[in-house]
Structure 1
Amino acid sequence: MMNSNIYVQAQMLIRKPIEDVFEAFINPEVTTNFWFTKSTGKLEEGKTLTWEWEMYGAKTNVKVLEIVQNQSIKTEWGEPSTNVDYEFKEMEKGTLVVIKSYGYSQTGEDLLKIINDNTDGFTTVLDGCKAYLEHGINLRLIEDKFPSK
């Protein structure tokens, strides 16, 4: 049974034009500077790509459901899979990015854990994106989140 009323949302204002911020999530040449380390390609509607976090030996298939240029990206990924939507809104000072994750099949403690992990993870992604796009700095947030040594 899906927990259809439960979702995770993280958001951040990034002080860059909407075209630049949208491209940062579509183009792995940019995204790898603040999120995953490898991708099998750019996000394109109807494609399934693989994202990899080499430092953790982890990867996931990402199914791209819909892309509306400079407005939204709808994906499905993870094990078990959930929906992850990215919304982009032009603001006076930059671009508001909202990441929303939903469609959880977990219940009880497992649901609480995935909600916590997703909230934490997407907040870190947005923090890293902001630092990279606004200041050209790769803070290595994802890599340093769970250091092995």
Structure 2
Amino acid sequence: MYRYLLMVVLAITLKSCIRFVNEPTEDDYEPVVMSRTDFENEVGVSDTQPLENPGKIYVYGKFLFVNEKNKGFHIYDNRYPNSPQKVKFLKAVGATDIAIKGEYFYVNQATDLITFHYIESLNSYTLTKRVRNVFPQKQSPGGFSKSVEENQIIVNWLKVTD
């Protein structure tokens, strides 16, 4: 019995000392950085775009929101769930999450929290508020941080190719 317990403890100890090939290191990714001015200008609503790298999915009322990782949200009319219709693309570079309450869409845009007001009768989406630096800078997929200049924002991380 003690032999098996000793083997388990030894295996756990050794695993913590060994870096496996699949585990990312700090050098595996490089940040995509934008100036704050460019970052804030990369927000708006545009015509639909093709899905390329979808993330989280949200359903709210008649809408379906599909995150395009670090780019924004595809907005679909979901009144007929068997065939959702593309409506618009909510562009917010660095965005990965959304919360909705009533006519307001709250989006994390990398370090900032932005709010869009949706007026159904006009089918309009208007950026109404930006709260800067609510969130920390994005970390790499391996959980590493990178220092950037004061007016720069990390909007994504790209895998470094050999």
Task: Report which structure shows greater RCO (CA 8 Å, sep ≥6).
Answer: 1
TM-score by length of 1: 0.28
Structure-2-length-normalised TM-score? 0.27
The structure that is helix-richer by fraction is 1
